[in-house]
Structure 1
Amino acid sequence: MLNSWDSIQHTLIVGTLGYIATIILLRVSGKRTLSKWNAFDFVITIAFGSILASMMLSKDTSLVQGVLAIGLLVLFQFIITWISVRSNIFQGWIKAEPTLLLFKGELQHHAMRHQRVAEGEVLAALRTNGMAALEDAEAVILETDGSFSAIKKLKDSSASALADVKGYPKQSTARI
């Protein structure tokens, strides 16, 4: 009975302090740590949860070890994002490119298969953005975080925001 109360006390104390330390470290590290997820951010976030759970439930992981581990992850993420903002090559290694799934009302089936996106997901993206027909869209893009962007048909506007989208014709970024 005493051992179970010991475990409960450990979980309460270390869990609370670990949670507070995690929040402080995430807050200090800036908005980028909690931004929309790409694969890199997903791994970091899952690791945060795993470390916090180990701190709370395992007496073999001390509070200091857990906070140090979370601090290291925050530091590594800061370094990697700092480098990726300054190096397009490095950014390409850790972040996927946005991909064109629909162009000028036509589904890009090869890109959809490659990205494992169903036609219904593209149609849902159009509807979410107030478009009722494929022909109403200039483009639907699968973004680096897995979300969809739908762009209404362009009239007299350049498409400069689409310049980094895989599959978007580069000549189309000029004035139409």
Structure 2
Amino acid sequence: MLFSGWDSLFRTLVVGVLAYVALIIFLRISGKRTLSKMNAFDLIVTVALGSTLATVLLSKDVALAEGLLAFALLIALQFAVTWSSVRALWVRQLATGEPQMLVYCGAFLSAAMVRSRVTEDEIRAAVRSVGVNSLDKVHAVVLETDGSFSVVKMGEEGENGSSLAGVVGPGDVRSSTSDASDLARC
């Protein structure tokens, strides 16, 4: 069917504009964290919001008020989880996971790479992207909770590796013994 009538087109136009405006207002009210760089939890909320918008736009069985309530509910849940994650470590770990160290003192942490499903080529690309031409010049490479790589160059690690606090890796009781043996020289 190519055309079902002007009424359905008019409904889609009106509901689409109203739902879009409401979604923007809700997102602005909820704060910058809702629109931040995405980790797995944020991706789920974003996909759910998009799915809800599509359903409100295209389904005559879903009233605009129901769609707006669904938007508000998803954003409120996202706000509650992010608010809680700032205040409780277990909520943060559940919602976003933990950053994982993949290279330490120029050495690949093979067990961490396997757990994170990351290849040496991907790490080398991340190192090259920050203008470093040798792993010997890298203090650490961290897989962040949003899937991006952070590269800390040798000599830039700061006092006691302060930027690496909270990262799962060497010196952390959660790191594997095979990773620890890779680091004997550091």
Residue 173 of structure 1 aligns with which residue?
none
Q: What are the within-5 Å matches in structure 2 for residues 23-102 of structure 1?
A: 23-102=24-103
Deviates more, 1:156-165 or 1:62-71: 156-165
Per mean C-alpha deviation after superposition, the further-off stretch among 49-58 and 82-91 is 82-91
User: Secondary structure at 1:154's aligned position in 2?
Assistant: coil
Q: Which amino acid aligns with 1:166?
A: V
Paired residue for 1:167, among 166, 169, 179?
169
Q: Alpha carbons of 1:6 and 1:119: their partners in 2 closer, same or farther (altered >3 Å)?
A: same
Letter in 1 for 2:144: E
TM-score (norm: length of structure 2): 0.87
2:128 alignment partner in structure 1:
127
In structure 2, runs of 5+ residues without a counterpart are 173-185
Query: 2:180 is matched with which residue?
Result: none
Corresponding position: 1:9 with 2:10: yes
> Does structure 2 conserve the Cα–Cα contact (< 8 Å) formed by 1:162 and 1:168?
no
- Structure 1 residue 110, shift from structure 2 partner: 1.0
- Conservation of the 8 A alpha-carbon contact between 1:138 and 1:152: yes
Distance 2:157 2:80 in 1: 41
Q: Give the distance between the partners of 1:96 and 1:106, measured in 2 at CA.
A: 24
Secondary structure of residue in 2 paired with 1:139: strand
Give the distance between the partners of 1:70 and 1:20, measured in 2 at CA.
Answer: 12
- Partner of 2:142, secondary structure, is strand
User: Greater shift after overlay, 46-55 or 82-91?
Assistant: 82-91
Are residue 105 (structure 1) and residue 106 (structure 2) matched?
yes
Q: Which residue of 2 aligns with 1:21?
A: 22
Take 2:102 and 2:10, find their aligned partners in 1: how far apart are those partners? 53
**1:156 positional shift:** 8.1
Alignment deviations for residues 134-168 of structure 1 (CA, whole Å, 9 cap, x no partner): 10100000001100000000268321110111013
- Shifted more, 125-134 versus 150-159: the winner is 150-159
| Identity score, percent | 47
TM-score of the two chains, using structure 1 as the length reference:
0.92
Q: CA–CA distance in 2 between the matches of 1:155 and 1:55?
A: 50
- 8 Å contact 2:157–2:163 — kept in the other structure? no
Could you tell me which amino acid in structure 2 is paired with residue 44 of structure 1? Answer: V
